[in-house]
């Protein structure tokens, strides 16, 4: 006769295997949805193009206007959306994990504002004009803002609590935004160049931009995935993490570097697009649970779905013009953020 505890262990193992299979199946379905959205991003816009014409532009290119639009405009735009979406989704998930703050987001915690100020200074003072040149300054600004916000949020007896980090991020965003505006008011040429970038857009992104930021996106994604186990441990609290042998300081530094690299590359390529990094990790956790070994891959797939879907909506709704994707994601993400804050307040009562 099999002892009852042995039967219980077998049942638990079967449950774990089944859970992994469901998560893997869900990830495959999400990847299929991403392929469909990417195809729609290439096909739909101010001028709809039939799917057979889209596919023909890859296999039987004839130099027609439809094929030129697909290959020279929409494919680079879609690839930029894929890369930026992956970066923002993973950066948001890592940031929420390392700070244990469900309200953490590169936009809300001042990272985007720091990158924006650095880019403005590069345009104004050094005459940098290309996104491939922006990327280094975006990294520097994102890193500086992250350090300052976390330092301010860590002051006091309780350390870096979610509310203190959100308040520090809001204050830093306001300060950096004011400095950015002051510089732009001093120089009209800088304003003309910056205003098309700051809204957050995928329009006009070409292969040169993609080649410039692709190494950083890849390195940041690998570093984020490598931090998954340490994020699971950090989520239990610093004391528990240390008792389990986790080097807390090193784990936080690695996660912070991943956030800075991913956010800097995304901001340099497409401008400061908000709310993607806030909303997507919550959706991923609702599907997978708190295990970051699954949250990060799901965020990497779901975020470009949201970003490309918002970009398609902006192109279709405002024909023959378009709404910038940063505006559309704000409409989608702002109500989600308000609902999340209200839910947390009710939970604390």
Is 114 within a domain?
yes
232, 292 in Cβ contact below 8 A? yes
pTM metric for this prediction: 0.81
Please, what is the average pLDDT of the chain?
Answer: 79
116, 198 in Cβ contact below 8 A? yes
The percentage of the chain sitting over the pLDDT mark of 70, rounded to a whole number, equals 83
164, 153 in Cβ contact below 8 A? yes
159 secondary structure, DSSP code = -
Read off the pLDDT of residues 172-184 as tens digits, 9 standing for 90 and up: 888 888 888 888 7
Read off the pLDDT of residues 94-115 as tens digits, 9 standing for 90 and up: 988 887 777 777 766 777 788 8
Stated as kind and residue range, the H or E segment containing 137 is: helix 131-154
Is 302 within a domain?
yes
Kindly report the backbone phi and psi dihedral angles of residue 41, in degrees, each rounded to the nearest multiple of 5, phi listed first.
-65, -35
**Range of 163's domain?**
12-322
Is 344 within a domain?
no
Read off the pLDDT of residues 107-159 as tens digits, 9 standing for 90 and up: 667 777 888 888 888 877 787 766 667 777 877 887 788 788 877 877 776 66
pLDDT band of 345, cuts 50, 70, 90: very low
Is 328 within a domain?
no
User: What is the spatial distance between Cα 295 and Cα 217, in angstroms, rounded to a whole number?
Assistant: 18
Which stretches of 95-141 are assigned E, i.e. beta strand?
none
Is 300 within a domain?
yes
Q: Is the pLDDT of residue 11 over 80?
A: no
Q: Is the pLDDT of residue 348 over 90?
A: no
Read off the pLDDT of residues 241-282 as tens digits, 9 standing for 90 and up: 788 777 877 887 788 888 888 887 888 788 778 788 888 998
49, 227 in Cβ contact below 8 A? no
Q: Find the CATH number of the domain harbouring 313.
A: 1.10.3470.10
67, 61 in Cβ contact below 8 A? yes
Is 175 within a domain?
yes
Total domain count, the chain: 1
Nearest to 37 by CA among 311, 322, 331, 284: 311
Q: Is the pLDDT of residue 298 over 90?
A: yes
Is 226 within a domain?
yes
Is 317 within a domain?
yes
């Amino acid at each position: 006769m099999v002892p009852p505890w042995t039967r219980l262990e077998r049942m638990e193992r079967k449950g774990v295997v089944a859970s992994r299979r469901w998560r893997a199946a869900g990830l495959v379905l999400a990847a299929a949805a991403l392929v469909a959205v990417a195809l729609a991003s290439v096909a739909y816009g101010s001028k709809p193009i039939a799917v057979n014409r889209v596919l023909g532009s890859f296999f039987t290119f004839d130099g027609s206007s439809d094929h030129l639009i697909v290959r020279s405009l929409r494919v680079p735009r879609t690839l930029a959306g894929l890369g930026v979406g992956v970066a923002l989704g993973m950066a948001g998930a890592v940031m929420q994990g390392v700070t244990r703050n469900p309200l953490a987001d590169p936009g809300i915690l001042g990272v985007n504002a720091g990158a924006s100020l650095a880019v403005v200074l590069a345009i104004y003072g050094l005459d940098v004009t290309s996104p491939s040149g922006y990327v280094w300054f975006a990294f520097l600004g994102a890193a500086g803002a992250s350090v300052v916000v976390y330092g301010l949020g860590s002051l006091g007896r309780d350390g870096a609590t979610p509310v203190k980090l959100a308040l520090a991020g809001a204050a830093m965003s306001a300060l950096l935004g004011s400095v950015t505006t002051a510089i732009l008011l001093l120089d009209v040429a800088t304003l003309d160049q910056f205003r098309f970038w700051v809204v957050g857009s995928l329009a006009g992104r070409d292969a040169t931009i993609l080649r410039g930021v692709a190494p950083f996106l890849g390195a940041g994604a690998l570093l984020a995935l490598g931090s998954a186990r340490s994020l699971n441990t950090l989520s239990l609290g610093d004391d528990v993490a240390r008792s389990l042998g986790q080097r807390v300081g090193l784990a936080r530094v690695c996660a912070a570097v991943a956030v800075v690299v991913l956010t800097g590359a995304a901001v340099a390529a497409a401008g400061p697009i908000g709310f993607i990094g806030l909303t997507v990790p919550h959706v991923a956790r609702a599907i997978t649970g708190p295990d970051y070994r699954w949250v990060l891959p799901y965020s990497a797939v779901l975020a470009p779905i949201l970003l490309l879907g918002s970009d398609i909506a902006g192109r279709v709704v405002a024909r023959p013009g378009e709404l910038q994707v940063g505006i559309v994601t704000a409409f989608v993400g702002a109500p989600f953020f308000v609902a999340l804050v209200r839910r947390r307040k009710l939970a604390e009562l």
